Each structure stands twice: as structure tokens, then as C-alpha cells.
Structure 1
Amino acid sequence: MKIVMVSSEVVPFAKTGGLGDVLGALPKTLAKLGHEVTVLLPLYRSIDFSGYNLVANDWEEKVTIDSKNFNLKYSKIKEPKLPLEYIFLENDSLFDRKALYVDPETGADYNDNDDRFIFFNKAVLKFLISKDYAPDILHVHDWQAALVPVFTKLCFADHELFRNCKTVMTIHNLAFQGMYENSKFGKLGLEEELFYPTSPFEFYGKVNFIKASITYSDAVTTVSQQYAQEIQTNEFGCGLDGVLKQHADKLYGILNGVDYSIWSPSRDKKIPFKFIRANLSGKKMNKIELLNELGLPIREKTPLIGIISRLTDQKGFDLLEFIIDDVMKENLQIVLLGTGDEKYHRFFKDVESRYPDKCRSLLKFDDTLAHKIEAASDMFLMPSYYEPCGLNQMYSLKYGTVPIVRKVGGLADTVKDYNDQTKEGTGFVFENYTAQELLSTIKRAIETYQNRRNWLKIMKQGMNEDYSWKQSALKYVELYNKLR
């Protein structure tokens, strides 16, 4: 199959969150399965091409937005030994900037993000047509690429290149929809009659890229089966639950995968001591090493709870605020790594100052430290209000770091609650979004930790789980074949 992937983020070139990780792994996995994969993304100033053979060329086109012409060039990188190519679409006036979406000078979104990503979507199709490239599948990701299926259906439905092409749009987080004032609709270059109350484009008087894409894509996927159900409810649908229920027949949940060449304790190049399921001595040594590095005392029967997260309400830290003193009374230590809302920066620094022998709050992002925390911690806390997929709970399982999670989104799909009667399960799960339920679940985990035999069984059951990208990629291939 000829598969074209379109995204604003692709690891290792551009990333602000999990979207980039997915686009770093899924195309490679599909290529390893024998499919011809082309990935298109903007050429941002921040991309470091060191070590890559970036090939530029003399090709140049124009993309028109609201009667204004923008130059379009491209460069490419061919992945060695795989049928995989990365195409970087270039316009300096739109993408030669310090950051991807947010102006570092103001802390607000660039005020022309609509122009930037309308250009990107049109440029994708302009490139494919000019190169006479006919994909079997056009798979786009999130609002920044959501207009590609819309333009394909409304402008190029009869074009020979797209006559047999099927479009897939993946929602990684429905909270981000690409919404702009209705005066911006004209920039799309579509008939004005397409914008009216309740139309596929209109959302409370604004233009909504994701809503339009849900309507015009041949299939809509999201990043876990549970999240696919949740976004059809008023609580998690972000105002689009009615539209998603209307198109439920083409809505699928496919879990993101983990790149075990990077996130596996037996292969991890960023941890001091590697270990395997059959011999966990390296995990204990990693814990001692990290505690020493952080200046925390080593306590034999005290579990270390790791947290690696954006510090926002979505991640459940408002619950933790309510119960933090009760939590810190327990026999535990906590290490947090992450940045986010200033109120949570203050909160976690305060916890560290009041409990200096039990907590370290590392308010930054450090990839090496993230690996060390996963490898060293006994438990991993993710009490999210909503979590489309989540990756850290899957990393944690592979490292024998037992997750404490809320039964929501991808957390519900990947972590099985421990049953003390049957001794089955891979973590500790609470259902209702209340501080008391979170507290009782943390206490249950700490109590279980004291029984070494039971705890080892939980660890090993988690390490045995397989959430590799190959499993996810095969499900996408199954969907692609179903559409064709």
C-alpha cells in the first residue's frame, strides 16, 4: 500500500508532545511491514538536520490563501533500508520561527496559525499532484492537518490521483480543534454556501477544522478504544459529541504503541543499570542510584512513586492538592519531573520544602532523567481527569514500575486493576474522579507493596504486556484494507 502521513510534528524532527512520538514510530513500523510510506510536515526553523542527508531541490510552486500567494518549496530525507521518505514543506514567512505554535515573546499562539496550517494542508495536496503521486491512504493527524481530507473530498474528488484514495483522520486530543472566527472561512477557498449554522464547518459561530474533518474523512480514529467511546459523551466530547455520535459508524479506537527499542529496561541506553524480567536486581540498583542523585534517603521498605507529566488540571493534580498531606503521611517517597501551570510549580515546590526527605520536584523536562525515573520507581502515578492514550503507563509496565491510574481513556485500556483474591492485575485503578478515591488507591498500592511476593507478581505481569507499535500498526493496516 502507498500510505501518506501528514502531521505538524514528527520525531526526531519536531515535537511538543505525544503526537510527535506517534509520527516518529508508526510510519517506520508500517514501512517495516512492507508498505510505501511518505510523511509530510512543515520545515520549521528549529529542526536539527545534523546526521541526516537532507536533499533540497529547485522545485517551486505557489499556494494561494485569500488571494495572497505563498511560495512553496520542499526538501526530503530518505530513510535508509526502508520504503520511507520524509518531505519537508517549506515557506520561510510561515515556518521560519522560534517555536512551532506559540510565540515565545508573548506566550500566546501565533496570530496567523490559521494561515500557517491552511497553507500546510493545501501544500500537501499541491505537492502530491505536482509529483503525480497517487496514495492509497491519506492519513492525517490532529487539527493542523485536518483539512486535507476536506479539500480532497470537496476540491479533488474526481481527480485521477485521489479517485481511489481513502482518507483517515486521527484525533490525538479532542480538546484542540483548530477553531477560528467565521471571517476566516474565506481563506479556505471553498464556496461560501458551505458555511452556515450546523454545517460541517460551523461550531458556535466559528470555523472548526476538526469538525469538518470528522464529516469529510472516510474514517476517524482516536488513540484508544476507551477514548473513542468517551468522546461521544457530553463529559469528554468537547462540544463535538453529537457530531461524533452521528459518525460513530466510521469512528475507531486504535491504541498508540511503545517503541521498545527506546523504552525497555533491557535495551535502555539512558539508565545506569539494565535489567530483565527474570532478574530485577538492576531495578533496585537504579533506585539506589537515583535516590543518591536526588539526595533522598534510601529506605528499604519505602516505595518510590514517580510522576512525569505536564502539570495541568487535566492530569489530576487538583485531586492531589486536596489530599497531599494525607498522602505524605504514608510510607513513601515521590519524585516529580515536569513543567506546566505556575500554580502546580508552586504546589510541588512547597511539598518538597515541607517534606525534604520524601519529595523531589524537578520542574523541567529532561529525557534522560525521565528514563531514570521510569527505571528506578516502584510505582507511577497518573490520576488523569482524561487521557486519550497516555504513554508513561505503558513505559512503566515494561520497567516493572506499577501504575496507579484512573480508569479513563488509554489508561483504562492498558492497566488491569490488581485483585488481591486472584493475585491478577498489572496496576491499581480508581474509577471516580475524587480525591478520596485517589487516596485510598495510593494506600492500597503501598499496603500491597509490603508483600514482596505479591508485588513481584504484579511487576512481572506488567512487564509481560506487549504494547509494541507492531500491534498498533497491524490494526491500522486492517482498517486501511477495510476502507479499500
Structure 2
Amino acid sequence: MKVLHVCAELYPLVKTGGLADVCAALPAAQRSLGIDARVLLPGFAGVKAGVEPTGPALKLATRNAPPIVQALGPEVSIIPARLRGAGLPLWFINAPAWYERPGGPYLDEKDRPWPDNAERFALLGWVGAQLGLGGDPSWTPDVVHAHDWHAALAPVYLATTRRGPKSAGSVLTIHNLAFQGRFPGELWPRLGLPAALFGIEGLEFYGEVSFLKGGILFSDALTTVSPRYAQEILTPEQGFGLDGVLRRRAQALHGILNGVDYSVWNPATDAWLAQPYDLAQLDGKARNKAVLQRELGLAPRADAVLFGVVSRLTEQKGVDLIAPVLGDLVARGGQLAVLGHGDAAIERALEAACAAHPGQARLRDGYDEGLAHRIIAAADVILVPSRFEPCGLTQLYGMRYGALPLVRAVGGLADTVVDSSLEAIDDGRASGFVFHEATPAALDAAIRRAFALHRRGADWQRVQTHAMSLRFDWARAARQYGTLYDGIRSSSARLAS
């Protein structure tokens, strides 16, 4: 089985969130099961700097390509490479004018979307489809696996240009339905797709072009990153306008829970930490707490219940609920460490709330991979109060590091965290704290329960021990995807015969 993952992010080359972790860990886990998984990426500067080319550039003729691709010239090149050190085989698209820029992969240095994002990611989808159609004679995938809106045109181009039974099947994974890749309708003629597809039964969405809607309609199979999220997005509340389209394709929709790369997220071997630790030697966690308190200018209090946040600072993540409860959290003897960047109003509110409690709360703006590890290692509780959450990885990292997750009961958070009710503690299932309403009052009530459990040391230790012993490994997810790919390949063979 040969699988091409088409994605915009890959840890450690380029990362804005959990997508990068998934797109690195899933192919690696699949390769360990004998699946020949490879990756296609845009040639961002960070990608070029972190890979080793393994062969000459491969030219893709653009004679019959859509106008949006022809703008690059008569040929588009992709370069075969391997992830430096890890050896994961990949291609990157060599288009410096479109991909090698200051700022991030989607936003410029002032956090504004790049004005040509449609062109940049239509190219990614088109190249993914070309590889699925045999663009590299030495390796043609059985399945093209597109990740999120950035790659969602790959199944569309693949389906509308298939050239026989050897064409690859397709899977689209929806990592977050809120991000759909919507662009002005004037873009349509430049995509080179059949005119009839720009309508309500195609990629049109309230007069715009929706890359994600196209991927949903034209992929052979759809997945989300947790079972619960696969059900939630079929509802108007969490369907973001696409719930009707998704309900039409419900039979093709599968919820497969993400995993954790425990070679990266392991407190016993984590090079970012001041002192490694594990279940057998938990003293190191206290040491990491003391070091982080010094690093962030928090009071050096071993008895403080330290709450950590590592998140995009957006309404989706529920972090706007934190500032209103911070005063009570500190009054009860807690501390707060926040790492993240996002909505300016939420940042300002959090910054003001932290400033009102010097030595007890600190916001570090931006993202720092090492600091993310150190906060999770130091925290007693990791806060993930999301309004919606397709899967969430932070709560899984927290459990492995002995930071009990405090989460809202949505998506993958509900699938993975068991509330510390008396009965769940008694039968050994409890692994964190779960609340339901997206309000400061509900969050505050869950925080109070965390303090109450922390005061009962033996019970806290039981829950922490259970949480640290849980494993959400990628091998399980890789096997589930393998079964899905087999079904797609079998269906393609039946249609071809």
C-alpha cells in the first residue's frame, strides 16, 4: 500500500498547531506497519532548511494545468527529499515566489492572510493530484490523503481528471471544520475545473469558492480526528454551514482518534526539561515546576496549584473564559502560565488579568516549542476549555506528563478525558476534570473541583498515576487508516473491473 499525505505543515519543519504533529506522526506510524507513506509539502523556507534532497527535481508539465498553476510558467518542479534525521520521504514544491516569505505559512508578519493563498494552496492540491495520477513514474500512490482545506483541492483535481483504474483513491481528513479555505467567486475560472461545479452542488458556498467543500464532495472517504467530532459536525451547531453537505456524505465519514508521538512527548526522555521524570520517579516534576516558576517570574511556591495553557488564543479554544476566573484561581492559591498567540482582544484581556496578579500569573505571547514542553511538564493542571475541539492533543500531552487536563466536554476532549467524579476515582477511570457549559461560572466550578482533589493527596495521586499510564499511540490510528485505505482500494478495483 502506497499513500501520499498532502499537507501544509509537518513538525518540526513548519508548525502552527496540532496539524503539524499529526502529519509527522501518522506517516511514520504507517511506515512502521509496512505502509509506504510519503508526504507532499509546499516548499516553505523552513521545509527546505530541514530536509535533505534525495534526487533531482521532477518537472510537472503545466500545459493542461489550470490557469492558476500556469501562472508559474511552463513547468512546476517538485524535489524529492527526506526529513533530516528522521528519514521520512517527501516531496516539496519548489515555488519560492509563493512559499519562501517572512511571516507564517498562511499569514504575513502582521497576521493578515496572504492575498494569494488561493493560488498557493490550489497549487498544493493540483500537485498532489498529479502525483496521484502518476506524475512520478517511479512511485504512484494507491491513496492520496489530503489534510484540511489547504490540500482539499487534491481530491477534486484527482476526481475530475482521473485517467483510468490506476488513478489513486482519495481521503480527506478534516482537522478543523472552522477553517474552510473560502475565496471570492471571481477565482473560479482560474481553478480550471468544470464550470458546472461552481454551484450549490459543487464548490460554491454563498457566492464564494470553498476548497474544503470541494474536498468533502469529491473524496472517496472522509475522516475527522475523533469519533465524537465526526458526529458533532453533522449538526448546525458545529457544522459551520457544511453540515448539510456532510450529512449527505455521512456514510463515507469516519472518526479516527489522533494519537501522540511518544518519542517526542515523553517526560522520561524530553530534552526540553530541566529534569526528566516518569511514574517511577515523580520528583522531577516538582523540579520542573520550580524551574518554570523562575523562568516566567512566578513566585517560587511548591504548594501552588499551577495551571498551564498552551493554545491558540482564540474564542474556539475557550481561553476568553480564563481572564474572568483568574482572580478566584489566584485567591485559592493557584498560579497560571499561558503560552499562545491569537485574537488581539483575548490577548489584551489575558495580559491585563495576569498583570493584576504579578508573580502569580504570566502570559508569554507567541509560540515556543521548548516552553510548551516545560509548561506541560511543570503544570499540575492543563486547561483546555474549548468551545469546540476536533481532537485536541494538549490534553493527551498533559496526561502523559502528569498535568491533569481540565476540559470542556466536546469533540476529542470528551472522547479522551474521564471526569474525576467520586465513582470514577473509586473505580480507577478518572483522568482529569470535565465541564459542560462554555461559561466562566462552569469553568470556575471545575477549577474549584481541581483544588479540592489536590487537597486530597492520595486521590490526586491515583488520578495522576492513571492519567500518566494511559497511551493514545499512533499505531492504533495507523491500523484504522490502513483498513480504510484497503476499502478504498477494493472499491476502486471493483469499479475498474
Please state whether the residue corresponding to 1:457 is helix, strand or coil.
helix
From 192, 195, 208, the equivalent of 1:192 is 195
**Which amino acid is 1:147 matched to?**
L
From 178, 182, 195, the equivalent of 2:185 is 182
CA drift of 1:6 comes to 0.8
**Which amino acid is 1:134 matched to?**
T
Partner of 1:471: 476
Task: Report whether the alignment pairs 1:454 with 2:456.
Answer: no
Where do residues 39-438 of structure 1 align in structure 2 (5 Å cutoff)? 39-49=39-49, 52-55=51-54, 57=56, 59-63=58-62, 64-66=65-67, 68-70=70-72, 71-78=75-82, 84-102=88-106, 104=108, 107-128=111-132, 129-132=134-137, 133-156=139-162, 158-162=163-167, 165-196=168-199, 198-423=200-425, 424=428, 425-438=430-443
Q: CA contact under 8 A between 1:46 and 1:99: conserved in structure 2? A: no
Q: Deviations over 1:386-407 (max 9, x none)?
A: 1111111000000111111100
CA drift of 1:319 comes to 2.0
User: CA–CA distance in 2 between the matches of 1:330 and 1:8?
Assistant: 43
| Compared CA separation, residues 65 and 400, structure 1 to 2 (3 A) | same
User: CA–CA distance in 2 between the matches of 1:12 and 1:83?
Assistant: 13
TM-score normalized by the length of structure 2: 0.91
User: CA–CA distance in 1 between the matches of 2:175 and 2:226?
Assistant: 9
| Compared CA separation, residues 161 and 370, structure 1 to 2 (3 A) | same
User: CA–CA distance in 1 between the matches of 2:109 and 2:354?
Assistant: 31
User: CA–CA distance in 2 between the matches of 1:261 and 1:344?
Assistant: 33
Partner of 2:19: 19
Please state whether the residue corresponding to 1:284 is helix, strand or coil.
helix
Q: Deviations over 1:67-124 (max 9, x none)?
A: 8442311212246999942111212332232245445355322222112222222223
User: CA–CA distance in 2 between the matches of 1:373 and 1:143?
Assistant: 31
Unaligned runs of 5+ residues in structure 2 are 491-497
Please state whether the residue corresponding to 2:76 is helix, strand or coil.
strand
| Compared CA separation, residues 74 and 82, structure 1 to 2 (3 A) | same
User: CA–CA distance in 2 between the matches of 1:190 and 1:343?
Assistant: 40
Of residues 355-364 and 268-277 in structure 1, the stretch that sits farther from structure 2 once superposed is 355-364
**Which amino acid is 2:293 matched to?**
L
| Compared CA separation, residues 96 and 373, structure 1 to 2 (3 A) | closer
User: CA–CA distance in 2 between the matches of 1:300 and 1:80?
Assistant: 40
Q: CA contact under 8 A between 1:4 and 1:137: conserved in structure 2? A: yes
Of residues 357-366 and 460-469 in structure 1, the stretch that sits farther from structure 2 once superposed is 357-366
Please state whether the residue corresponding to 2:52 is helix, strand or coil.
coil
TM-score normalized by the length of structure 1: 0.94
CA drift of 1:438 comes to 0.9
User: CA–CA distance in 1 between the matches of 2:368 and 2:104?
Assistant: 19
Q: CA contact under 8 A between 1:46 and 1:97: conserved in structure 2? A: no
CA drift of 1:149 comes to 1.1
Please state whether the residue corresponding to 1:111 is helix, strand or coil.
coil
User: CA–CA distance in 1 between the matches of 2:140 and 2:109?
Assistant: 41
Q: Deviations over 1:7-63 (max 9, x none)?
A: 11122222222211111111111111111122111112343525x432452542333
Q: CA contact under 8 A between 2:321 and 2:440: conserved in structure 1? A: yes
Unaligned runs of 5+ residues in structure 1 are none
User: CA–CA distance in 1 between the matches of 2:85 and 2:351?
Assistant: 48
Q: CA contact under 8 A between 1:139 and 1:168: conserved in structure 2? A: yes
| Compared CA separation, residues 102 and 82, structure 1 to 2 (3 A) | closer
CA drift of 1:308 comes to 1.1
| Compared CA separation, residues 357 and 61, structure 1 to 2 (3 A) | closer
Q: Deviations over 1:453-476 (max 9, x none)?
A: 000001011011111111221111
Q: CA contact under 8 A between 2:127 and 2:154: conserved in structure 1? A: no
Q: CA contact under 8 A between 2:290 and 2:302: conserved in structure 1? A: no
Please state whether the residue corresponding to 1:47 is helix, strand or coil.
helix
**Which amino acid is 2:192 matched to?**
G
Q: Deviations over 1:370-397 (max 9, x none)?
A: 1111111111111111111111100000
Identity over aligned pairs, percent:
37
